[in-house]
Amino acid sequence: MLTVNGPRLWNSLMEMAQVGATAAGGNCRLALSAEDFAARALFADWCHQAGMSLDTDAIGNLFAHRPGRDLHAAPVVMGSHLDTQPAGGRFDGIYGVLAGLEVVRSLNDAGITTAKPLEIAVWTNEEGARFTPAMLGSATFCNILPLSHALAVEDAQGISVATALAGHAGNLPLGRPFDAYFEAHIEQGPILEQAGLPIGVVSGGQAICWLDVEVRGDAAHAGTTPMALRHDALFAASTMINRLEQLAAAFQPHGLVTVGQLLIPASSRNTIPGHVRFTVDLRHHQDTHIAAMEQQARACLQQQAAQRGLDVAIRRHWFSAATPFDAECIAAVRRAVSALGYPHQDIVSGAGHDAIYLAQHCPTTMIFIPCRDGLSHNEAEYATPDDVRMGADVLLNAVVERAGG
């Protein structure tokens, strides 16, 4: 089996982490900021040293190219992003880019040229911290977001993507054919760490259903209103949220239910809440199950409201269907990890990734490695050198199989 140079990869990760380093040991490289361009420049230097050529497309996605033996084949692409959250970590995104670079470096060391060309993609504004929406570059590449919309998006200071990109956009066509896309990433959750496994074979992205719930009762004086005459919107909402927790239990081990925000407008300590708003985030990797979860959530919210004589309004805020990854790509990862003898398990991606959009464009999958305490979007984000190395080993072998070694 081929293996990467683990220390070289680790050293590159640590050197890249000097660009936009924060005092607390994390990174701040907002998309298309000076720090982001400095990171791209450092990456480009390394790619040039590895014999690759670089080019960009109209939304600033950066591609490093390594020719294959077959001049007409579409490339097998690796990658992720170099931008971070304002108080982000050293691995989220960066790992997928530098693991791709380490794959190329290792192939150079071994004197291997693949049949299909290889590329490393750096997607623009994956984090969504500076420009909304997140995954803006891959969405534009995959024709999910029109280029003109993407370029017109402004940050909080009113600076547009087009302005921030000036001089950094190129002529590579959006949506050009890829043979396949492989993205290595930290898990951003606790599952692999809890299981003590270095590799997650990612089967796809979850379906997500976001609901907005509004409960209306009657505000009244906490001291003068007998319990029997109250229509307390918070007591109702609390029971609803209890029932949603029970609903999650009925969809284990894959269903996720979160009430992330709850607001009592114009609340006061001695006023019975007459109005409560809360959000519901439902997730499952199977579309049939997310549909059942939404239907049961709506039914239990409505039943609770009816039982208490209150009004409830339920609106769908957003819905995204499940994204199954490509069976052949997953099988290539599975063969690589088995041949390497690394402990692993199948896992579903809970967070958003460029790969979720790429899956609509070409055969796609991801490789996860654990991160400490499941922490991400956090300066304390950490992955061990061993896990970093093993994830890149899996990427190397899966990509070489796909590209024809």
Contacts with a copy of itself by CB under 8 A lie at 187-191, 194, 206, 208, 210, 220-229, 232, 234-235, 237-239, 241-242, 245, 248-249, 252-253, 255-262, 264, 267-273, 279, 281, 283, 317, 349-352, 374, 376-377
Of residues 48 and 254, the one with the C-beta less far from a copy of itself: 254
Nearest approach, Cβ of 211 to a copy of itself (angstroms)? Answer: 10
Of residues 139 and 208, the one with the C-beta less far from a copy of itself: 208
Question: How far is residue 59's CA from residue 149's CA, in Å, rounded to a whole number?
Answer: 11
Nearest approach, Cβ of 338 to a copy of itself (angstroms)? Answer: 25
Q: Enter the tokens of residue 199.
A: 């590799």
Question: How far is residue 57's CA from residue 39's CA, in Å, rounded to a whole number?
Answer: 18
Nearest approach, Cβ of 184 to a copy of itself (angstroms)? Answer: 16
Of residues 85 and 397, the one with the C-beta less far from a copy of itself: 85
Nearest approach, Cβ of 307 to a copy of itself (angstroms)? Answer: 13
| 326-332 contacts at long range (C-beta below 8 A, 24 or more positions apart) | 326/180, 326/359, 326/363, 326/364, 326/365, 328/363, 329/180, 329/182, 329/363, 329/364, 329/365, 329/398, 329/402, 330/201, 330/202, 330/203, 330/365, 332/365, 332/398, 332/401, 332/402
Of residues 125 and 376, the one with the C-beta less far from a copy of itself: 376
Nearest approach, Cβ of 322 to a copy of itself (angstroms)? Answer: 12
Alpha carbons within 13 A on the beta-carbon side of 255: 23
Radius of gyration over every alpha carbon of the chain, rounded to an integer in angstroms? 24
SS3 201: strand
Nearest approach, Cβ of 54 to a copy of itself (angstroms)? Answer: 32
Of residues 4 and 213, the one with the C-beta less far from a copy of itself: 213
Of residues 92 and 102, the one with the C-beta less far from a copy of itself: 92
Of residues 50 and 210, the one with the C-beta less far from a copy of itself: 210
Question: How far is residue 17's CA from residue 33's CA, in Å, rounded to a whole number?
Answer: 15
Sign of the C-alpha dihedral computed for residues 214, 279, 301 and 286 taken in this order? positive
Helix, strand, coil percent content, the chain, rounded in steps of 5: 35, 25, 40
Question: How far is residue 363's CA from residue 350's CA, in Å, rounded to a whole number?
Answer: 19
Of residues 234 and 333, the one with the C-beta less far from a copy of itself: 234
Which residue, chain included where needed, has tokens 């509004």? 214
Phi, psi of 139 (to 5 degrees): -65, -40
Nearest approach, Cβ of 241 to a copy of itself (angstroms)? Answer: 4
Of residues 174 and 214, the one with the C-beta less far from a copy of itself: 214
Of residues 68 and 255, the one with the C-beta less far from a copy of itself: 255
Q: Which of 385, 355, 378, 393 shows the shortest CA–CA distance to 90?
A: 378
Nearest approach, Cβ of 135 to a copy of itself (angstroms)? Answer: 14
Q: Specify whether the CB–CB gap between 404 and 115 falls below 8 A.
A: yes
Tell me the CA distances in angstroms from 284 to 184, 202, 213, 261, 376, one per residue in order: 22, 14, 20, 20, 21
Nearest approach, Cβ of 266 to a copy of itself (angstroms)? Answer: 10
Nearest approach, Cβ of 216 to a copy of itself (angstroms)? Answer: 16
Alpha carbons within 13 A on the beta-carbon side of 102: 29
Of residues 63 and 368, the one with the C-beta less far from a copy of itself: 368
Nearest approach, Cβ of 100 to a copy of itself (angstroms)? Answer: 22
Q: Specify whether the CB–CB gap between 91 and 371 falls below 8 A.
A: yes
